[in-house]
């Protein structure tokens, strides 16, 4: 059975499951966050580009980004709406759910907090993509609680949910069945010192790349990225959309790796931003 290579100690296996019958999926490649001061001064953002224009500049190069600061503090609805206005029509935001839901409540009695989170993030409108729920590393598997959490989101049929489990006890057949039944997926993330085998469930795949030898501060080799490219292409042929976010922001490695990965994949598979058409009579 094909598998994605061992990046930082994780073997990523996938199961055959068509996302959309005979319709190839898309590959969305971007970074985890965009508002990094160490990406300025020509690391990625030109020196002349003010911080308020960083997102618009980013969106000229990538078709997706993972919003990270929503994990620490929930942005106001107006902030989500403003971000949506700054990017092209086909741009996709993945959003990391509030730590209040995952780390403080630990998914328990979270219906109201999830409702609040979605009421804010929904202001992204059609540009809202997957929502990532990252569980704390010390939180052990709790199947009844996960079922309760799934019931609370059962009406959100169109919401793409990815769960990032960070304790080995979650990787069982029972948990996978709950995730699969809910129509969700398990996040494929680098996990140092672990040899987890994670199935690709649901209609899409969500990959987070934290770094190779040092978390957030190491660069992937071309050989490693080629494995990711092949893995992603195989999944799109099964009808799955694939979202890949690089979180190794130090030295702008995330930008470098995202560009390299995009260049390794045939453009027909990779989602790209649509440039606005010039208005009639306007200068080109």
- Which pLDDT score, from 0 to 100, does residue 195 have? 57
> Is the pLDDT score of 165 beyond 50?
yes
Q: What is the pLDDT of residue 278?
A: 45
The number of beta carbons lying within 10 Å of the beta carbon of residue 184 is 25
User: pLDDT tens for residues 213-253?
Assistant: 788 889 999 999 999 999 999 999 999 999 999 999 999 99
User: How many other C-beta atoms can be found within 10 angstroms of the C-beta atom of residue 2?
Assistant: 11
Q: What value does the mean pLDDT of the chain take?
A: 88
Confidence label for 157 from pLDDT (cuts 50, 70 and 90):
confident
pTM of the model: 0.89
- Most confident range, picked from 13-27, 125-139, 184-198, 201-215: 125-139
For residue 275, pLDDT over 70 is answered with no
Whether 12 has a pLDDT exceeding 60, the answer reads no
The conformation of residue 104, written as its DSSP 8-state character, comes to: I
DSSP β-ladder status, 204-209 and 188-189: parallel
> CB within 8 A of 48, min separation 6: which ones?
none
CB 104 within 8 A of CB 134: no
Residue 118 three-state SS: helix
Domains and CATH numbers, the chain: 3-264 (3.20.20.410)
Burial of residue 173 (number of CB atoms within 10 Å: 0-12, 13-18, 19+): exposed
Position 194 scores a pLDDT of: 53
């Amino acid at each position: 059975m094909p598998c994605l290579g061992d990046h930082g100690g994780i073997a990523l296996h996938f199961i055959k499951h068509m996302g959309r019958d005979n319709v190839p999926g898309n590959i969305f490649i971007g970074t985890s966050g965009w508002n990094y001061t160490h990406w300025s001064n020509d690391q990625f953002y030109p020196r002349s580009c003010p911080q308020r224009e960083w997102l618009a500049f980013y969106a000229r190069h990538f078709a997706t980004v993972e919003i990270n600061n929503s994990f620490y503090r929930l942005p106001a609805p107006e902030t989500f709406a403003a971000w949506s206005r700054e990017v092209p029509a086909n741009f996709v935001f993945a959003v990391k759910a509030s730590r209040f839901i995952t780390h403080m409540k630990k998914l328990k009695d979270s219906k109201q907090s999830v409702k609040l989170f979605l009421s804010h993030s929904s202001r992204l409108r059609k540009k809202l993509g997957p929502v990532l729920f990252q569980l704390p590393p010390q939180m052990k598997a709790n199947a009844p609680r996960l079922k309760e959490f799934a019931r609370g989101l059962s009406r959100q049929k169109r919401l793409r949910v990815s769960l990032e489990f960070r304790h080995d006890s979650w990787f069982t057949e029972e948990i996978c069945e709950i995730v699969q039944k809910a129509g969700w997926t398990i996040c494929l993330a680098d996990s140092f010192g672990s040899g987890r085998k994670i199935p690709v469930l649901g209609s899409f795949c969500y990959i987070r790349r934290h770094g190779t030898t040092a978390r957030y501060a190491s660069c992937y080799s071309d050989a490693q990225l080629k494995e990711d490219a092949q893995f992603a292409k195989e999944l799109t042929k099964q009808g799955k959309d694939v979202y890949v976010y690089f979180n190794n922001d130090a030295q702008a490695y995330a930008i470098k790796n995202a560009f390299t990965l995009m260049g390794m994949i045939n453009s027909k598979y990779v989602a790209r931003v649509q440039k606005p058409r010039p208005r009639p009579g306007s200068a080109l």
